[in-house]
A and B are shown apart, each in its own frame.
Chain A
Amino acid sequence: MHQVLVIEDEPGIRAVLRVLLTAEGYRCIEADTALRAEIEARSHKPDLLLVDLGLPDGDGLKVIRRVRAWSPVPIVVLSARTMEEQKVAALDAGADDYITKPFSAPELLARLRAALRRVTHATPSAVLRFGDVRVDLARRAARGADGEIHLTPLEYRVLGCLARQLGSIVMQRQLIREVWGPGREDDSRSLRVCIKNLRAKLEPDPRQPHYLITETGVGYRLRADEDAA
């Protein structure tokens, strides 16, 4: 049973989260201030942190940085701040994912699962499944319903990078740095082309992506089918 530390000052939302998480079989610890959050994080050693950014005694970003300083525990931000700058700042501070309020329960649970999976399966799963398409990252092979699919080495690298944080946001800058090397972070055009091509090859309907999701203004997220993990 996973322990989730809910850091949230709004009692209403805490109550909803408590019901939701307990119903899904998580153990729920609560903290309503930044100070409390750190204490709870140190004493309970939770498996995941769900952090609100606006806290009465400080910014949630500070909590994230403090915790990141000593622990690789997955951190998911749950905030009403919707501007992409704020998302990027939270991800930069060390958060793994970002969910905006109001949230839908299935979405929240899916993201939590994804974040937890990253820890439990420390090595990314070698085989991804997108509907009919299966991609074996280790052997660099892809096969769809109509047979072999050819992916370029660059596309494998992008896919690999996204797969390491399967289900979570990967920031655009990070993607470019890892695939194209440092110093080219501002060159987003190649990345866009690459993503477009990947979608054309992997998505059942590339016009309406289902697996390779754009997190507008922030980055991308790879959503493989649940049973692929």
Chain B
Amino acid sequence: MAEARPDPDQLLERVKAEEAREKRGRLRIFFGASAGVGKTYAMLEAARNMRASGTDVVVGYVEPHGRIETERLLEGLPRLPTLPVSYRGIVRQEFDLDAALARYPQILLVDELAHSNLVGGEPAPRHPKRWQDIEELLAAGVSIWTTVNVQHLESLNDLIYQTTGVRQRETLPDHVFDEADDIELIDLPPDDLIARLHAGKVYVGSQAGTAVERFFRKQNLMALREIALRRVADRVEAASRELPSDRAQARAARDRVLVAVGPDEQAEQLVRAGKRMADALDAEWTVVYVETPSLLRLSDEQRNRRIDELRLAESLGGESVTLDGPSAADALLEYAQTRHATRVIVGAPKRRGWRAWLRPSTATELARRARGFDLVLIASAGRTPPAARAASGPLPASPAIRWDRYAWAAGITAACTLVAWFMYPHFDLSNLVMIYLLGVTVAGLRLGRGPSALTALLSVATYDFFFVPPRYSFAVSDAQYVVTFAAFFTIALVIATLTASVRQQTRVAGARERRTALLYAMSRELSVTRGITNMAQVAVRHVAEVFQCRATVLLPDADGKLRYPTEPPLETSFRGADLAVAQWVADHGRRAGLGSDTLPAAHGLYVPLGDERRTVGVLAVLPDNPRRVLLPEQGHLLQTFASQVALAIERAHLAEIAVQSSLAAERETLRNTLLSSISHDLRTPLAVMAGAGSTLAQHGATLEEATRVSLARSIETTAHEMSELVSNVLDLVRLESGQVALRRDWQTLDDLVGSALTRYQERLAGYHVETRLPPDLPPVWVDATLIVQLLSNLFDNIAKYTPPGTHVTVSAVPAGDFVQLSVEDNGPGLPPGDPARLFDKFQRGSDEGTVVGVGLGLAIAQAIVRAHGGEIEAQRREDGGARFVFTLPATEEAPLTEAPATLAGARGTSP
């Protein structure tokens, strides 16, 4: 069979995906080339038809823009109230997501999918973009009808800007468009549109008349129409191609497109080009940014632009990666090989002439060394995008120039001059240059690029002024000094540049290493931490330290609802985290809050622990400086920390489950042993009783008096033994289940030992029992019943396993906060093997059932001693026989777990 059968897992996956799609609402987009083609109109008309056929259609948000036709269509359709949002002192009517979710219609109409919500408004929107609201509604199962203009599509944004010269601020990620269930193209010939515009039937917002004129030119409209038609055609083609089997095969031998971007203006263009190419090839694509030492010197503004590019790539459905390396080409080549990239997109080289020859650009370098992939060079668009981009976010002012460093530079030069001054009489003039070069090197290492360049310049100047004849003038008597100056200056500059970049690199490497070390430190601590709450505390401590923030880990309770930690908060705990936001994060497996797509106005950032399928908790972070977390590398690092924590918690969960199942298994074995033991130990005495009873009943009259009595006695004795057995089992169950609350009281050992001996009076009748209790023995703080039981069990052991005539000694000595008791005999001693095993349940001195008892006596004794905070152990006496030593507390605050030192010392006899 050439055709491989479908993998059942894949089939299952597909079925699941389809099920999920069925539960999901359907998204229908009315798509047009520009404003004014009649999308809203078409949508409302379709809605009226739908409503007439009995479907529950509700208008969530439609901007009529005062158009009468639209207003008329709206009549008779139920409408959701809009939400007044105050924003910078103005109240605007916005779409109300919660009202829509509460109303839960079959179909909801929401105009303008690309709309941006008022993030700074009050009440704050849950998502910054309307499409995210829609996404939530779809996920909840509400079908959505909406409208989109072609120029709002993210990947076309750039193309349309080049075509029309107007840049759209509000963009829609392509995946939203691509994943829509239906696209309805609303088409209107450009001439008709222009006619409508002149008739005032097109709403053009507040744009100035000339801008409108420029946009609604015929060739613009034609171009837009073409783009829109092509986009829809692409979609139709993709849909026909997307047969499941084709798709599965295509994935195996897939193309991968790498887009290499730099910090220049072309980056955005490259990203969009990459997206278009990846779409055309149905390929996965990755945007790669290489952070080389030279790029580290860029201003924050430029670095932030790069962040924006990477964000753009992610919003277009691509993957974004930041690499580190000495040269961009090296890093890219290596990455392309490991990821098996088939195409690499870079900007065309911009350096020309000798500079290109001296330092080949990345593109040239790649072209020279490309193996296994095609290199695509994209020429620069040539047009500089408007600077208005800066308005897209709270970009920081470029860092203040560190004037103090320049002062230092001047200082260093002055110092060099001073040294040279003193050397002048004794040294050649050329050697003085060395002093200045030393100064430049120091400046390069300490002060950075600018100041060290200044040092170089000042050095040449002062050297000339103070030392080169004629002295104290910038004039030069000998022309050969010009060569000296030129060489001096070049060397100084090179040194300055090199040392400064080495310094920069060291700093970056140091920072990176520190981060790795921090991550490693947390992992290591987590790996030795037991228990989920402890792990959470470790995580909070580390995250707070690394990200300079307050943090908390919110874990779900048994019902999956997140709750605040119950243990006392740490100093760095983020108190007052918003549980509702956290719950949203846990349910959706996506981050929310500060700097994310969801609830960006929330107090703090909430990162899920785990992935979308299984979230084990939420890490909430309140940064001291919110900008830090907004940086993608910080974001990624935080994500890495979160994954580590999630892994650790997951591991703890699994460990807990494992412990529970092994406990269950142990309990199961225990129950089986117990049942078989008890059934044996109960049947034997029952047989005795039944036999004796029936004999008495049948032959009582003919039996001799003595025989009758002895039969009756055996019934009595075995009954008592059974009774003891039953109470032993019950006691052990109670002790082990922790149901026994100790009823402690001050007791004298004389009393306790006496009671136990009295209880065993008859059975120990043939034994020589001796008690050695010193008169000054302190009273013990114990539960009398349990201690009498413990002593009885030890006596019972003696009665069972030693022959009559054995000497038994009960003695006690004070030992610190405890009293140490020992019960010893000179009988046959302990069975071979580890004496500690005697305290296990169902252990008996001899294996076969000649002796009645389930082997619980010592287990109970141990449970009782431990419940009192003492220890018990069995020892072999040097001269034969067994000794049981245990401790009982003689103070009210006896430590509960620590055994006294004396017993620990005596432990040498047991392995």
| Chain A interface residues (CB < 8 Å from chain B) | 82, 84, 101-102, 104, 188-189, 192-193, 195-196, 199, 206-210, 213-214, 216-217
Contacts and interface: CB of A to CB of B under 8 A. Distances in A.
B527 interface: no
Given A84-B743, A104-B716, A192-B779, A214 B785 contact: no
Per CB-CB distance, the 8 closest pairs between chain A and chain B, nearest first, are A217-B785, A207-B771, A214-B755, A189-B746, A208-B757, A192-B748, A102-B723, A216-B788
A49 B750 CA distance: 35
B814 interface: no
Nearest to A104: B716
B728 to A, nearest CB: 12
A208 B754 CA distance: 5
Interface in B128-145: none
Contact of B750 (A104, A196, A216, A217): A196
B484 interface: no
Contacts of B723: 101-102
Given A216-B784, A216-B785, A207 B750 contact: yes
Contacts of B746: 188-189, 192
Interface in B751-766: 751, 753-755, 757-758, 761
A13 to B, nearest CB: 12
14 contacts: A84-B743, A104-B716, A189-B746, A192-B751, A192-B779, A196-B748, A206-B754, A207-B750, A207-B754, A208-B757, A208-B761, A209-B755, A217-B743, A217-B783
Interface in B771-805: 771, 773, 779, 783-785, 788
Q: How large is the interface on B (under 10, 10 to 19, 20 to 34, 35 or more residues)?
A: 20 to 34
B758 A102 contact: no
B462 interface: no
B745 interface: yes
Nearest to B760: A208
Nearest to A203: B754
Contact of B758 (A192, A196, A208, A217): A208
Given A84-B743, A188-B746, A214 B727 contact: no
Nearest to B740: A83
Interface in B467-490: none
Contact of B747 (A82, A84, A192, A199): A192
Given A188-B745, A189-B746, A216-B785, A196 B751 contact: yes
Contact of B785 (A84, A102, A193, A210): A84
Contacts of B785: 84, 216-217
Contacts of A101: 723
B720 interface: yes
Nearest to A215: B755
A217 B784 contact: yes
Contacts of A104: 716, 720
B604 to A, nearest CB: 53
A188 B747 CA distance: 8
A170 B788 CA distance: 19
Given A84-B743, A192-B746, A214 B754 contact: yes
Contacts of B745: 188
Contacts of B720: 102, 104
Given A84-B785, A193-B748, A214-B751, 16 more contacts: A82-B727, A101-B723, A188-B745, A189-B779, A192-B746, A192-B748, A206-B750, A208-B758, A208-B761, A209-B755, A213-B755, A214-B754, A214-B758, A216-B755, A216-B784, A217-B785
Interface in B2-48: none
Contacts of A213: 755, 758
A207 B753 contact: yes
Chain A, interface SS category:
loop
Contacts of B743: 84, 217
Nearest to B810: A207
B719 interface: yes
B626 to A, nearest CB: 61
Nearest to A186: B745
A82 B784 CA distance: 14
Q: Which interface residue of B716, B745, B753 has the most chain A CB atoms within 10 A?
A: B745
A21 to B, nearest CB: 18
Contacts of A193: 748
A195 B757 contact: no
Contact of A209 (B716, B758, B773, B783): B758
Nearest to B756: A216
Q: Which interface residue of A192, A195, A199 has the most chain B CB atoms within 10 A?
A: A192
Contacts of B727: 82
Contacts of A208: 754, 757-758, 761, 769
A41 B748 CA distance: 42
A110 to B, nearest CB: 15
A199 to B, nearest CB: 7
Contacts of A82: 727
B561 to A, nearest CB: 40
Contacts of A206: 750, 754
Contacts of B753: 207
Interface in B690-723: 716, 719-720, 723
Interface in B628-656: none
A162 B758 CA distance: 19
Nearest to A220: B751
A192 to B, nearest CB: 5
A217 B751 CA distance: 11
A176 to B, nearest CB: 12
Q: Which interface residue of B716, B723, B783 has the most chain A CB atoms within 10 A?
A: B723
Contacts of B761: 208
Contacts of A214: 751, 754-755, 758, 784
B320 to A, nearest CB: 70
A37 B788 CA distance: 36
A90 B745 CA distance: 21
B715 to A, nearest CB: 11
A102 B761 CA distance: 18
A189 B745 CA distance: 9
A195 B784 contact: no
A84 B785 CA distance: 8
A101 B758 CA distance: 18
A196 B774 CA distance: 13
A207 B809 CA distance: 12
A84 B723 CA distance: 17
A82 B792 CA distance: 16
Nearest to A217: B785
Contacts of A199: 750, 754
B332 to A, nearest CB: 80
Contacts of B748: 192-193, 196
B842 to A, nearest CB: 23
Given A192-B748, A216-B785, A217-B784, A207 B757 contact: yes
Interface in B824-844: none
Q: Which interface residue of A101, A188, A208 has the most chain B CB atoms within 10 A?
A: A208
A208 B795 CA distance: 14
B632 to A, nearest CB: 67
A20 B744 CA distance: 39
A207 B769 CA distance: 10
A227 to B, nearest CB: 22
Contacts of A217: 743, 783-785
A217 B779 CA distance: 15
Nearest to A105: B716
A189 B748 CA distance: 8
A45 B550 CA distance: 80
A113 to B, nearest CB: 20
A195 B746 CA distance: 13
Nearest to B720: A102
Nearest to B785: A217
A82 B788 CA distance: 14
A73 to B, nearest CB: 29
B872 to A, nearest CB: 20
A206 B723 CA distance: 29
A74 B716 CA distance: 28
Contacts of B754: 199, 206-209, 214
